[in-house]
Amino acid sequence: MSKRLNFYDLAVWKEGHQLALDIYKITKDFPKEELFGITSQLRRSAISITANLAEGYERYFFKDKLKFYYYSRGSAAEVYSFLFIVRDLNYINKNNF
């Protein structure tokens, strides 16, 4: 009998999880006036990547799975867009970008 895989066994989930951790580390040094702005938005969109992967993974019907995987993809694009903004505001350096 084979062991059932979980969402956290997926390579893409592991990469998304690491990205979220990195985003939290990077944003802790953002200006305090950004706490309820870019900092919050960037963190929430980073967390949304893995949350939607997990939810999609646990859905039974393929259409439901696909919907959440697309949401995750959209959240990844949102993170990328925010990273351009914080780079251009000089909140992060080129290496962190």
* pLDDT at position 95 over 90: no
Residue 90 gets the label, from left (phi > 0), alpha (psi -120 to 50) or beta, of left
Are 75 and 48 in contact by the 8 Å Cβ rule? The answer is: yes
Nearest 5°: phi and psi at 65?
-55, -50
pTM check: above 0.75: yes
Tokens linked to 88: 């251009």
Model pLDDT, residue 31: 94
| ∠ CA 31-15-93, rounded to 5° | 35
Distance (Å, whole) CA 13 – CA 50 = 6
Going by the DSSP 8-state scheme, the letter that residue 4 receives in this structure is P
* pLDDT at position 2 over 80: no
User: Whole-angstrom distance between the N-terminal and C-terminal Cα of the chain?
Assistant: 44
Under the banding of pLDDT at 50, 70 and 90, the label for residue 97 is: confident
Distance (Å, whole) CA 45 – CA 17 = 12
The structural domains of the chain, ordered by start, are 10-88 (1.20.1440.60)
Under the banding of pLDDT at 50, 70 and 90, the label for residue 94 is: confident
* pLDDT at position 1 over 80: no
Mean of the pLDDT values across residues 14-35?
95
Model pLDDT, residue 3: 77
Model pLDDT, residue 51: 98
